[in-house]
Structure 1
Amino acid sequence: MTLINSPSNSTVRLKSIIKSVNPNIDQTIVNELCRLTEEYKLKWVADSNGKNALYVMSELSVAKGLDVEDYKKHWANKSESTSSLKGTSLERLAGKALKLEGDKLILFKKLYQEQNKLSLGKINQLWVGDFLHAYSYLTQGSSQAAKDFQTLGSVAIETSVKKEIEESTHTIEPTLQLKLVELAGYSNINLKFEVPVYDTFNPGSHRRFDFVEQLPKVVKIYELKSRTISEENVKVTILEKHYLELALEHYKGKSIELIFTSPVGISWEAKSYIQEVNDTTSTRFPGAKVKVSFIDTQAISERLVNNFLNNSCIESHFWFKTKLVKEGFNCVVGGRTIEKLNNSIVEAYRTGRLIKPAKTDNVIQFPKLKSAKAA
């Protein structure tokens, strides 16, 4: 049975959902969010599984005293548009956002009307966000509503999110990219990160390639994911983001290779779809050389590490090994690389390329003078 968001049960239901999504969240935050949701008469919907609280983002724009299109104009275009109920993290906003269309939108409109006794009218798409995303958006800016929502305590929510990340074994994409950026900086391999290109499919907006390598005969565009590359990841990048078309437009006359990379592999469905794309590139892009592929992130980091080692003095290898071990590079560099590096250092000591410093004190030793008798 669908629960109705009447004043008598809305708060209880919302608290229950938030706690089920994030059991470790501070209860004070939950209570304050529920209070402000009631005070500002914010409408929300329990998803079809009853495991999340979704807010209509345009309604939150109005609650902030802004234009109804504020979220769509200034935040939605920074996202990876998707109709998947898994959602996608929006740039600079916490939580998850969903762009609903087609059957997903029909289902949401039905749930919204059942739970709030209101109709969303005739619309063909709608942006919604979970409770954390809604909070994050509401606290942006200096309007009175934003200030009221800021009393929730952004530090407390940020702490709970960080705790959730720290307790997880999952490495987030910004961390992976940060470590790859640092490794690339030690090498002489020319990788450019966060490369912006004008999005001709959405005038007035831009896309950003995760990182790019320009070689004499080919430009390699890398799409970095922290989880296993899925078929959906590949389809969104190629069909919705139009990365191949944008790369051909931006790097005119160059061969293009779009490379998906992840430290945890790729699904067989994604591999199969990539092969299908490669089989049709000659007809889709006549006269252009286009290829799609996958490479393990560790293979990229190994290349960067080896480049540093091959182009630096042996004395720097010990420092580099210490850095890789102690400064969080385990997400991109495996134990085998560390072992290989350590073995090369041991061999350098054995052969005399590296010399262990002798233990000395600060006392200057003068040669003994011969006694007069001995003379």
Structure 2
Amino acid sequence: MYVRRSAAALAAVTVIGVATPLAQAATPSPSASLPAGLYGTADPTYDGVWRQSLALLAQDTVGVKPAATAVDWLTGQQCANGAFAPFRADTAKDCDAKTLVDTNSTAAAVQSLAALGGHDAATGKAVTWLKSVQNKDGGWGYSPGGPSDANSTSVVVGALTAVGEKPADVVKGGKSPYDALLSFALPCDETGGGAFAYQPDKKGKLTANADATAAAVIGTLGKTLTGAAPKPSSDALTCKDATNPEQAARNGAGYLVTALAKGDHLMSAMPGAEDQPDYGNTADAVLALSTAGHGDKAADAMRWLGAHYEQWAQQGGPAAYAQLILAAHGAGFDVRDFDGTGDDLVKRLNATGPAPESVPAVKSPTADDDRKKADEADDNGVSVWWIIGVGAVAGIGVGFLISGRNKGK
């Protein structure tokens, strides 16, 4: 989802009580001596906890037991008040007024640690902090006290769900997180109707945003960053007035189906550049549709990712591989044979950090397995998409998006 590191989210990094423009913050170069437990080799200043949380969450989702050093690194980033900083180089030093903290890092860490189990004290403190910085509209902004946005609110909903809380019962000013999310939903009779905005502009206008929509679909359904694996839904995705979270989720899913139909993937415009394929947002959309029970409508997008993801994922590192694993797993694709040539996403993710404590054995395919795949392909075209789809996309060029999404656009 969610919710992932965005240009808009990083437009302000939070010093406790103060919003500081990212451009004014020092950006250290990647260190040659990064912590042994950290996933990825890029500078972790602004995404260390986020990418670590996604990596551990994806590993747990597919049955991998992460290295203890990786889990310890994540828990070590927490401040005494429960919040998580994106990256604390010196964890022996207590957090103070200059320590950077944010709701996205904290909520992602909660979801990861809750999934792994055995970290109730850490997740409890973190959720208490998240509740303390809830806005009066029921939502959360990236920065504590900042204006609520769909992505941050959704990732916090996932954190609440992960620890057994009912998001509808977490109320501030008489408003729940669902009230905040519904306030970002575009009416059906407007341009982009059914979609969600990242947040209103200064005049209160809502503009459809595909990534915010993917996040909010999962958020309004009360799910986590891993999505869900419900039975396929036969509900029509016709846009109707969103008087409840479930209808808002259906409306958002319908918008995503339409957006993906334009080329089986989403696009993103970098400032001063032409539109480019947005791999991360496309993966988010796949996960959102699967969570809403419409994974069949995301199959073509998943195939597109299988044919085009490699350069983006190598650049994006652990967070990108984790997004792909969560999307593929949610949509029923084989994360161990992602492109039909034996490409193992789990192996790729594991290679970006400390060796896991255990990895499930991969069963060698048999003739019976091949026949079963062929039968499944005939039935739904999803589980073994490569049998019928890879040849059609083999000649398509690989796109490359250097930066992440811009949710504020």
Pick the TM interval, shorter chain: under 0.3
Structure 2-normalised TM-score?
0.25
Greater strand content: 1
> Looking at both structures, which has the greater relative contact order when contacts are Cα pairs under 8 Å and sequence separation is at least 6?
2
